[in-house]
Amino acid sequence: MQGNSKIKYAMICGLASLSGMGFASSETVLGNNPNIMYLGRSNHELINDRVAMNWSGSTVSFNIKALKHDANMMIKLAKVTPSNSNETWFNIYVDNKLANVARTSIVEAPASAIKLDNTLTTDVDVDLSLDPTLDLSKTHNIKLVQLNEADARQAPFFYSPFYVQSMTLNNIELVEKYSDLKKIVFYGDSITAGLQDGNNDGGASDNIGYANIAISYAFQSIEQLNAQGWNVDPSFIVLSGISLTPGSYWGSSTMFTYYDSSSYNKDQHNQPIMSENADIVVINLGTNDTFVASQGTYQQALQTFVDKVQALNPHAKIVLDLWGFRPDYVPMYQQYWQAEENIAGKACATPQNLYFNGNTVSCFVDTRLPSDSSGSGHPTKAYADQHAQALATYLNNILKAEKPVDVSLKYSCPQSLHIGAYILDHNNKPYTGWGAYLGELGVSKNALSCSATAKEGVKACIASDPTYPKLVCYDQIHDAYYQAAGYLNQSCSADQNGLTGDNCILNYAQ
């Protein structure tokens, strides 16, 4: 019996020793795994339940946790039509930053850019240990972003949709996908696609494709929103040379032909989408219309396009953003900007005034010419970033905007109230009665610009002031906030504590 006990003891020690060394972990998952995020338009094909994509900027994204320091994954990418000779290029991002962590049989050195050619499949080896700055004890996000788009001159030989056949995870586990994604859709032409020409060929490294979405204002604005803490699901419905009216580079085809396409090739792999349900839609179309359409024709086409986009996105805020021009475009752009303002019904926001007026359809006008000494041609990455910074701030304001308040409700607040220095309590809730939701003004000490009358009802301060706060009444009984249907006198000011002023009075309009 003693001998047997010793043998058992030795076996237990041996197992414990192996456990301490750690076993290598390997798992293969298919491309339809629920924790893989397909950002942008895609279609779930019946063949092998694969998820196919080919719009520029299409992204495969997933969150991972490394189990050991030699963590890597082998992603098997494939084309729906392998015989298609066009190459598709991708950038690899780790935590929204370009990372030299990928190898393929084509690009053997660690790189941040890879390509998918006409082979049956391409194995992409993502090795996290190649980035010494990564803290492998934390969860990381990996993105593969398609950079290029189809050249209109090659139609109908479009880029074949790609899909993830499988992923082999070595000492890596997939963790839960984001549950708070904000969907932003861009409709645009070559300016939004990042078309490369003699003016901006330096905007991309290792990408010889027809266009590079990573140098565009649209992609850079999404990068900035992600850096601000949003998790964005972007779609880039972009085609170089496309217009809203017939007769430009694409002949009789316009964006109306493709706006609802799950992929931009018109074959069995394309499925028209019935709904998109974006939070924000940005429309930058019109540059190619300047050659063929008057202001009136453009405005009519744009209004029709807005109506169709709203049908796909009934709850979205729509931003009309015509930007990316050479000086010779300015005269026609000025007419088109007026058309956009006519459709929006309000003055357009500008880089100097990024106030979002709350309208379902708004417009954003950026008249700044290149600041990077670039010549005539498509925007450089630096010039595009100039616009992206302002646009990202504007989109951020939309994402942060409160839902409209039903001002038809009756309140128990007094009809007239002297406002003291401390309106907000320590929970950032107003005390019972009239208070102020200051938003960004809460950390500044700017003067408050207030309306002298209550002509517009719910607006306590003029809408042209981008920092004006909403006055709210906090109803303790219903734990609800109601926006003021009244006005402040002009002796009110604001600081980090709230509204103040010796003679600051709110008059409640019944």
**Cβ-contact 194, 216 below 8 angstroms:** yes
In a domain, 41, yes or no: yes
206 and 138 in one domain? no
305, 202: one domain: yes
Amino acid code (one letter) for 174: L
Does 46 lie in the same domain as 147?
Answer: yes
**Domain identity same for 302 and 187:** yes
422 and 396 within one domain? no
For CA atoms 439, 442, 448, 454, give the dihedral sign. positive
Question: What's the predicted TM-score (pTM) here?
Answer: 0.74
**CA distance linking residue 202 with residue 99, whole number of Å:** 19
Give the chain's domain count.
3
Total residues found in the chain within this entry? 510
Distance of alpha carbon 208 from alpha carbon 51, whole angstroms: 26
The answer to whether residues 308 and 232 belong to one domain is yes
2 located within any domain? no
Choosing from 348, 374, 400, the residue where a domain stops is: 400
The domain of 482 spans 416-508
Judge whether 407 lies within some domain: no
Report the CATH number at residue 143: 2.60.120.260
Token pair in block for residue 61 = 């994204």
Distance CA 297, CA 339 (A): 10
With vertex at residue 345, the alpha carbon angle to CA 338 and CA 186, rounded to the nearest 5 degrees, is: 75
Domain check: are 202 and 110 in the same one?
no
Domain membership flag for residue 77: yes
Residues 305 and 353 in one domain: yes
Q: Do 194 and 215 form a contact (C-beta atoms < 8 A)?
A: yes
Where do we find the tokens 């992409």? 124
Does the residue 352 lie in any domain?
A: yes
Residue 419 amino acid letter? I
Task: Report the C-alpha gap between 135 and 343 in whole angstroms.
Answer: 49
pLDDT reported for residue 54: 87
- Tell me, what's the pLDDT at 160? 74
Radius of gyration of the chain (CA): 27
Cβ partners under 8 Å of residue 307, min gap 6: none
Q: Are residues 169 and 187 in the same domain?
A: no
d(CA 282, CA 361): 10
Least Cα distance to 27 among 77, 67, 78 occurs for 67
Distance CA 97, CA 184 (A): 20
Task: Determine the pLDDT at residue 505.
Answer: 56
pLDDT given for residue 250 in this prediction: 84
Residues 81 and 218 in one domain: no
Same domain, 169 and 201: no
Distances (CA, A) of 379 to 149, 216, 371, 506: 17, 8, 11, 49
Any idea which residue has 């990068």 for tokens? 223
Residues 6+ away with beta carbon under 8 Å from 97:
none
Does residue 385 form part of some domain? yes
Rounded mean pLDDT for each run of 10 residues along the chain, 510 residues in total: 38 34 76 94 75 92 91 90 77 93 76 76 89 88 89 55 92 92 96 87 53 94 96 95 89 90 70 91 96 95 96 95 84 95 93 90 92 81 95 94 43 37 36 38 35 33 39 46 46 50 50
Q: Give CA–CA dist 480/500, Å, rounded.
A: 23
What whole-number distance in Å separates Cα of residue 433 and Cα of residue 422?
Answer: 13
* Type and span of the H or E element at 124: strand 121-127
Strand order in the sheet with 505-508: 416-418, 505-508, 486-488
DSSP annotation of 187 reads: E
Structure tokens of 194? 């990042």
Q: Specify the DSSP element, H or E, that contains 311.
A: helix 295-312
- Residue 477 is classified by DSSP as T
Boundary of a domain, candidates 375, 400, 425: 400
The domain that contains 189 carries what CATH number? Answer: 3.40.50.1110
284 and 236 inside one domain: yes
Last residue of a domain, one of 400, 427, 443: 400
